[in-house]
Amino acid sequence: MKKHYNAAMIYLFLGLSLGVFYREFTKIVGFEGQTILRGLHTHVLVLGFIFFMIVLLVEKSFNLSNLKQSKAWFIFYHIAFGATIITMLVRGILQVQGLDMNGLSHMAGLAHALMGGALIWFTILVGKLVKAQS
């Protein structure tokens, strides 16, 4: 349970920090257009902080850690989410600087697809836990 709580707290801090970074970075550069950085704050808070608070509740209710695949899922989720955050951050910084590279949007798309796989995997794991208690 502690690892889920720690993940939630790290993502809370990261999400809030990225919100401040977006606001201050665009203000310093004088950027007034649209950038992917705007959505990064929300992505990290929802898919990081709020999601891991939900995982913490699932762990408390169903003992998610007892499933053999839970550790592999936990690692896969962080890799996929880390890739999503990094690609969005790099692409957003490049957009603000007027150097948007379209190749990064493909990498961000791949990272988002991995995130989708991680969320589906989590749902399957929770389904197994629910079936075991029925």
Cα–Cα distance, 58 to 122 (Å, whole number) = 10
The predicted structure's pLDDT at residue 100: 66
pLDDT of 10 above 90: yes
Contact 117, 81 (CB under 8 A): no
- pLDDT-above-70 percentage for the chain: 99
The predicted structure's pLDDT at residue 108: 81
**Model confidence over 26-73: pLDDT tens digits?**
999 999 989 999 999 999 999 999 999 999 999 999 999 999 999 999
Contact 44, 86 (CB under 8 A): no
Predicted TM-score of the model (pTM): 0.92
The single-letter code of the amino acid at 6 is N
The predicted structure's pLDDT at residue 103: 73
Confidence of residue 89 (pLDDT cuts 50, 70, 90): very high
